[in-house]
Structures are given as C-alpha cells and as structure tokens.
Structure 1
C-alpha cells in the first residue's frame, strides 16, 4: 500500500483491489485511491497499463487472468519497487529481523537531517511524514521526498529512496541500491528456501547487487549473526561491520536501564542518544539507522537528535492503552527470535512481577510451514511469558496438505512441556472473553503475530471486536 500511495502522490493514476476491506484499504481510499473488493475482471479499468500484484495473488485470480488476456504488463511488487529505485539513490534495509523499525528510524532521521528522502516502510508511523522532531500526523508507511539530494556530500545526486529489502521469495534481488544494510540472517521462509544455506546465498546475491565502491556503493552488515564472510565474499561495494562486538567497524553500546545508546564510528568518534523503545534489538536497530544515515551524508548530531525523539511505529512493541490496570501492547513479531527479543525487552522494562503482575501473551502463528519448521524454537521463545494463548494458525500461502501437518495444539503441547501455562482458544471473541476473566491489575498483555490477531488487543480495550 505504501508503494501505491507513493506512486499516487507522484502523479500516477492508481486503482486497487483486495479481497476484503481493512484498515490498509481504508488508508488507500482516504488518500484518493479507488479500491474495489469484487475481485472480478470488471475491476480492471479499460485504461490500465500495468498490473502490480503481491505475492499473495495467484495466477488464476480473475483480474490476473483478464490482464493476461489483454496483454497487459504484469509485474510483482518487488519488481515495481525496483523500477522506482532506478531513478533514485537507493538505500535498502535487509535482514531477517528489524527491517521496518530500522527503516522508519532512518526515514525520520534523514528527514530531520534535511536530506528529504522518499521512504517506503512495511508498517505505519505517525512521525514519518515530517520527521521525529516535529509534531506527528496520521500514521503512514511512506513519504515522498525530493528528486535530488538537497544537501551534504551527495548533493545533487538523485533523491534518496529508502525501502525495506525483503528476502521472501528473493524479492530483494530486484533492487539495485547504492547503500544497503544486513542486520541478521536466520533460517526463515524455509517453504521457499529449504535450508539456511540457501537463505545465506540469497543474501550474498543481494550484496553483489549493491553499487560498486567507486560509485558510492556501501554495505553495512552485522559483525555477528549475519554470516558476513560468506555474504561479502567477492562483492564490489565497500563493506563495514556493525555490532556490540568491539571488533566491529561501528561499535554499539547500550545501557538498558536508561535506554542510552552509544556508537563509535570507524574513525573513533562517538555519539549517543536515549532511545524510547526498549530492548537491545532496538538499540542495535537505532545504531544501524545512524550508520546508514552517516553513509548517506547526514550530520551525526542531527541523526542523534532524531533517534532520541523517535517514538516507534505501529505494531512494533506498540502500547495500545490500559484497561483496568492492564497495559496492552501490540507487536508484529512472528519468528522465534523476534518473540524472545520482544518479551525479554518488555519484561526487563516493565517488570510486571515486581508489581505482582504477569506477562500474558496472545500469539497467533503465521503460516503452517513456519510453525512446523520452528516448533521447538517457538516453544523456547516464550520463557518470559507467564501465560500464552494461541488461536488458530494464520493460513496464508501454504498448501492444504501443509495445513494438516501442524496445528496450534502442537505448539501448546510443546509450551506445556516447558511448564508454560498455555491454551488454544478460538475464535477471537472467545479469547477476549477469556482475557476479561483472566487479566488483573498489574498484568501486561502482549498480542503478537503478523495476521489479524491485532484485533484482539484493540477488542480487549474496547470490550469486544467491532
């Protein structure tokens, strides 16, 4: 949706179609983009020139069939993003985790530093339009910037386009960035890749697509946890490492009790800021945003001021509100590493046990294949939760055969084997009813997952799903 709004603001006529109305489609309509829900060939206007389809749209979709029959150009979302990046100085944020948060942090920081970037984020952020130092507006997942970089050492180069570089289905191979980062590489999307080795090779190919060093190309890669030696072998761009390891080029230091983050640059200069978002993973994300911003030509003081003011983005450790003394958080995490980092950060900052409370987590697994591949890892990732409620697995992209290989009950059994109080409940209304009986003042309620599970946190606060 961010790409659609970006192209709409650039003057193109954009129309869209989705299976059902949602907050995302409402944002598109509020922006002046026509969205239909019939999913019929009639939804394809006569003057259509290009059809852009997400990975979730199958080739036998009626509109796809009609577009092919008309001989229209059909491209994927990653291909469209790659086309948009060609005329810009591209910055691509890659890695198994942290892409949206780092991209939003960097987008705000570059705006506050006066570099006026265009930005596409996979989540919405109220500070993205104007930067973190100015009053926020309605949450958006995009920003339209200048055609040329207005200041700094890259002045008059093509304008900055900052975007997440998603590894799903090798989508990021359509991008040709000037500057890029890889924050982490773990086994994920194994329904596509089959093995961690194939994932690493996909990231290595992405690194080879970055502009050469003599054209300003640079990769900033995690010193640890990103298979950097395999990924950077034979690349033509400059390479710098970042991490908590003192041997990294960009050294990150974090004081969790105060939120202070310090970064030592390759030349030995140090800068610091206090981060509002908890967790070592977010400290790393902010440091990576700082390093990317410096590589784009932003002044360090401006970046630090912006990072200090950054308040977060939707569905990333987002505090939704409080009901009867229960603080409710919403988070997009759907990989074991993300779950562990989020629950660990909340337990460390909020310390519910010290107040007689508990950490209650509602987690909806995303995809049957991912759940099956990581069943044991998921079970280990909830060690900081006192109670875990698991609805049905969100069914998307998987085959019907895969759907019958694993269930939420399997995860609940694994959790109980680790002495975690866990239960499988469905539908969402039943979960909200259970939470109303279960939660007590001082508890933390965390709703996690990439599917429609977000409705539960909001429904609990409102006393039911609208």
Structure 2
C-alpha cells in the first residue's frame, strides 16, 4: 500500500449528495453519520452488514450490501476508503461519470471546516487522547463534534455531530492522510517509527509530522517526554508556530503519578490533582494534553478536571471484558511495541492495586507481516514485561504472507523463561490454553489490531467452565 494521494478538501456544503464506498468502516461511518445529522443525503455500500450500517440506515442513509456500478446513481461526491481496490465497480463507475472522488481524510477535513478544529495525532495514544478530550468537553457543556478511531464507552459512538464550535478529530498518520487536515490546534502525543511499509524509514515518518505541523493554524501541543514530539516542537517553534509542551518536563508538568484502584491519580504542577478511572502512567500524559487543549479553548481547569474523572475509556483501549474464577480479562488494540509496553505496565499497576500477588498473562497477535519483521525484537522485549506470553500467528490484514515471518519470530525473542512463552498458531486453542495457565488474581490482556479481540469472551467462557 502506498501513501494516499493528497487532495484539496472542499467545504461540506459543496459535497452535494455523498456516496461512501466502504461505508461500514469505523472512520467512514463516522463521517457519514455527521453528514446525515447535517441533513446531507448519504448513500453507501459495504461488503457486509454491521451495527454501523444499521445505525446509518436508521439515520436515513441508503446502504447497499455488496458493490455494484448501479449503486452510483444521483451522486455528486464519492468517498473512498483506503481498503477499496482500483478494480471496485463503484469506483470505476464514478470515474466514468467524472464525479468528485475523495479519500476519507478529505471528507473529514470537509466536515471540520468552519469549526474550531482540534486534531490529535501521534504514533500512539491518539484515540484515547481524542476520546478523553471529547468526554471532558462534553461534561464541560462545550458539546463538541467528534470523529475518533474508537468508540467511546460513554456514548457507544466513534463520531457524532455536536452543537458546539469545537470539532475534535483523530489525525491518522499511517498513510499520510493527516496532511489533508488543517486544524486550529493539534496535539502530537509522540513520533516514532511505524507504518514503515508506507514510509520506508523512520526519518520519513518524522518528516511527515513536520509537514503536518505546517498545517496547524494557531497552536501545537506536544509531549516533551517523547524525543520525536520534542524534536517536532523545536521545528514548529523555529517556523513561528506557538508551541505548548507537557510531560515530566515542559509547560504542563506531570507529577506524582500513582495507581488508584483501577485508575490513577496525579498532579499537574501549579494546577492541582487529577483522578482518572483508567490505568497507566501514559494516561496521565494523555490527560495533561487534554488540559492544555481545554485551557487554550478558554475552559477552566476545575471543569476539565471534573470532566476527565468521568472518562471510562474507549473500546479496545484496555477495555474490561469480564471476570471468571478470579481472573480479570481485558482487551487492547495495542499493536506497536511501545503500546504493548505501556499497557503491560498498566496491567501491573492494576494487579498491584487489587490482588498484589497476581500475574499478567499477555495474549498477543502481531499485526501485519511487515510490522512483525521490522519490530520482532522490540515486541519480544515488550512482552517480557508480562509474567507469561502467548503469541498468536500474524494477522496479515491487507498484506500477503512473507516467507519466514510468523508469530514464532516474536515468541522466540520474548525475554522470559521458555516455560512461560507459548507460540500458538492455532487461535482456536488459545482460550483453553489461557484457562489452563491462569489462576485467581491474574490479569489476562489480549492485544493486537486483528481478530484477537474475539478471544476475550471465549477465554471467560473457558475460565467459567473450569
């Protein structure tokens, strides 16, 4: 997959009648939902029916299951997801008719236009930070519109139209499409090597973020603790952009982070104490970024602090799936070594708060052959933070298999005793495997961007049966 072709977005009111090819995807369905709430006529197609498709139909969208050229009728603009191939018959028909064809990010830029745009970018943490910001602003009465990469636990939605002036968007760097956004304010949580199948080398990732910074209207909020984000802050300052930093160093300084039940409590120096209902020191940084945005928007710290306390997470971001036999099961979208390490440290904090003697069992499914090849050593090191690691085979997603690249590459690099590491290429065997190893007080954490998320309920069922 190559980087998407960048196009100049148009105002939402100029899109006319909009058809989404791949409307059921998380990002596509969110934009479609917002357009429907604004009274825009929306149609679309997808390979299968989903809950998102049903919700869009209830809002008035015409959604076809399956793709056919005949679906392109009475349409002005066609939005295409990155999963759509050039051979798609609807795309071919749109080209034949000479219709405006835009990628998802350009459609997102269109619905953001005219609002105070806040984009949250970064190699990790952007979904949680954008979700946290959304919930906190909602509790402050700001009622923002939002389009993020995961579903909020509070609303069950990943996107919605609000009545306020602020529009919060997750800015996706994976294919370079965040360069179509032009936010007033942007948060950059970190800049690390990832998506090297697209970018080729780490320097290209940094260069892409530097180009993103050029599109920010008034303020960059960057994490001073992350070398890549700190470098970006220096580049942005040199270009005359206002920059605010946060972290253990910076303008907003995080102090005294400590586990507090399932959540954490910490202090922002000179402002006060914040309590979160989600675990992990990394979430103290995410919340501090939210405070920096809120202050820039003119909201008082006390209100945003109270709003942050109500944030209970986003789907697949250390999401509690249930408990059986004294074993708690959580699910995480973590698919990069840094993300695995952050979640496993958070899991240790949770164990310490509850049982004190429990173990952390990691169930990891590598995502993409290229990412597995690039980061096998780093994945192994991160999984060494668990007490036991079960490694599935690679979830290829859009990629074809690569000779010699499998979950065994990762399992062989985990820095734990051999008896505490299992390579499990048969996904169906994993629930029973976990149930046979887990004991009361343990935490099981399923991790990965693929179908590993389906294992949580199955593990709970096996634990219950035992």
Q: Which moved more, 1:17-26 or 1:314-323?
A: 17-26
Select the residue among 229, 249, 252 that pairs with 1:250: 252
* Cα distance change of structure 1 residues 173 and 345 upon mapping to structure 2, 3 Å threshold: same
Unaligned runs of 5+ in 1: 128-136, 150-158, 212-216
Q: Is residue 324 of structure 2 the alignment partner of residue 323 of structure 1?
A: yes
Quick check: 1:359–1:443 contact (8 Å CA) kept in 2? yes
2:413 counterpart SS class = helix
In the alignment, the residues of structure 2 paired with residue 166 and residue 341 of structure 1 have an alpha-carbon distance, to the nearest angstrom, of 20
Matches within 5 A, 1:424-443: 424-443=423-442
1:355-370 superposed matches below 5 A:
356-370=357-371
Q: 1:403 aligns to what?
A: 402
Quote the offset at 1:33 in angstroms.
3.7
Distance 1:376 1:435 in 2: 24
How far did 1:348 drift? 1.9
Residue deviations 1:428-447 (CA, integer Å, cap 9, x gap): 32222323333332221111
SS of 1:321 mapped into structure 2:
strand
Taking the aligned partners of 2:91 and 2:341, their CA distance within structure 1 comes to 40
Contact 1:201–1:231 (CA<8 Å) still a contact in 2? no
Using the TM superposition, give the Cα deviation of residue 26 of structure 1 relative to its aligned residue in structure 2, in angstroms: 4.7
SS in 2 for 1:362: strand
Instruction: Structure 2: state its 5+ residue gaps.
Output: 1-28
- 1:260 aligns with 265
State how far apart, in whole Å, the 1-side matches of 2:171 and 2:85 are: 22
Tell me if the contact between 2:123 and 2:189 (Cα under 8 Å) persists in the aligned partners: yes
Q: Contact (CA 8 Å) 2:268, 2:274: kept in 1 or not?
A: no
Answer yes or no: is the 8 Å Cα contact 1:222–1:241 preserved in 2: yes
1:145: which partner in 2? 162
Residue 12 (str. 1) matches residue 12 (str. 2): no
The residue aligned with 1:134 is none
Is the Cα–Cα contact under 8 Å of residues 344 and 384 in structure 1 kept in the other structure?
yes
Q: Which residue of 2 aligns with 1:130?
A: none
Normalising by structure 2, we get a TM-score of: 0.86
Q: Which among 172, 175, 183 is matched to residue 189 of structure 2? A: 183
Q: 1:62 to 1:352 in 2, by over 3 A?
A: farther
Change (3 A) 1:241 1:425: same
CA distance in 1, matches of 2:96, 2:383: 50
Aligned runs of 1:27-426 on 2, under 5 Å? 27-29=55-57, 31-42=59-70, 44-127=71-154, 137=155, 139-146=156-163, 149=164, 159-211=165-217, 217-225=218-226, 226=229, 227-229=231-233, 231-245=235-249, 248-258=250-260, 259-264=264-269, 269-351=270-352, 356-398=357-399, 400=400, 403-415=402-414, 419=418, 421-426=420-425
CA distance in 1, matches of 2:68, 2:404: 33
**Separation in 1, partners of 2:419, 2:57:** 44
Counterpart among 1, 11, 31 of residue 3 in structure 1:
31
Q: Deviations over 1:248-269 (max 9, x none)?
A: 11111242133222223xxxx4
- Normalised by the length of structure 1, the TM-score is 0.86
Residues 1:420 and 1:270: Cα distance change in structure 2 (over 3 Å): farther
The answer on whether the counterparts of 2:384 and 2:415 sit within 8 Å (CA) in structure 1 is: no
* Counterpart secondary structure, 2:430: helix
Are the counterparts in 1 of residues 351 and 441 from structure 2 also a CA contact under 8 Å? no
State the distance in 1 between where 2:289 and 2:280 align.
14
Number of aligned positions between the proteins: 429
In 1, Cα distance between the equivalents of 2:47 and 2:37?
Answer: 24
